[in-house]
Structure 1
Amino acid sequence: MPLHTPEYRQFLVLLKELRTKQNISQVELAGRLKTTQQYVSRCESGQRRLDAIELDHWCEALDVSGAEFFGRIREIRQTPSLEK
């Protein structure tokens, strides 16, 4: 059984995409989150799962609303080509 579902893998892609599209490094995001680059890396790679509060901090650090983030997640989940 795979460690992560296709939906969760897409969630991870979105997490990283939000950061990289703004040209923000893992080190810079870590500073904004008051944590380490290793934490950011582990979250983006799926080695560590984010809880709702952590995700809210992540979105705030990237100046993305929770509604926007979850809207993007909903679009991803409703994509017919996403393997389930």
Structure 2
Amino acid sequence: MGRTADGALGTSREGAVVHRPLENHHIPKWVIPNRDSQWLNRTPCAISLTSLHSPRNQALRDRLRSARESRGITQVDLALKLSKPQSFVSKYETGERRLDVLEFAEVCNALSLDAADFLRDFLADVAGAGAGRKAVRR
């Protein structure tokens, strides 16, 4: 492998690929957004994805942890039921990672919970707790 025009890659005498710093590296203009970019200046919509550390996500994580603990199941036991490492359980319980809907259903199943009932009760409680908040304009 020979050198590229900007000197980014080359070969050593032994034939190994050597990475060299890019000397004339420029980001293509189309990658850098400007102030007029449509995707930067969007008006916020009424429904948006929530932060991993939002109060609602924290409440969901707390409720899943409480359900696990009330059944006397450790993180290790739950991880074994899920065929995942213990860190998987720890990370979603502490908010380091988000559970997707299929993982949520698997966790509920491993805890002998009905995922639909669990979510319905959780959303009813969250809606009740948020009733005093200002309504979102749509």
Q: TM-score, normalised by structure 1?
A: 0.87
Query: Equivalent residue for 1:22?
Result: 71
Q: What secondary structure is seen at the aligned counterpart in 2 of 1:50?
A: coil
Q: Kindly indicate whether residue 130 of structure 2 is the aligned counterpart of residue 70 of structure 1.
A: no
Q: Which runs of 5+ in 1 are unaligned?
A: none
Distance 2:75 2:131 in 1: 27
The structure with higher relative contact order (CA 8 Å, sep 6+) is 1
**Number of equivalences:** 83
**CA-atom RMSD in angstroms:** 2.0
Q: Of Structure 1 and Structure 2, which has the larger fraction of its residues in strand?
A: 2
Q: Which has the larger radius of gyration?
A: 2
Q: Which runs of 5+ in 2 are unaligned?
A: 1-50, 134-138
Question: Which letter maps to 1:40?
Answer: V
Q: CA deviation at 1:81?
A: 6.4
Q: What secondary structure is seen at the aligned counterpart in 1 of 2:71?
A: coil
Q: Of Structure 1 and Structure 2, which has the larger fraction of its residues in helix?
A: 1
Distance 2:90 2:125 in 1: 22
Q: Which runs of 4+ in 1 moved over 4 A?
A: 81-84
Where does 1:4-23 land on structure 2 (aligned, <5 Å)? 4-23=53-72
Task: State percent identity of aligned pairs.
Answer: 31
Distance 1:40 1:83 in 2: 33
Q: Give yes or no for contact 1:11–1:73 (8 Å, CA) kept in 2.
A: yes
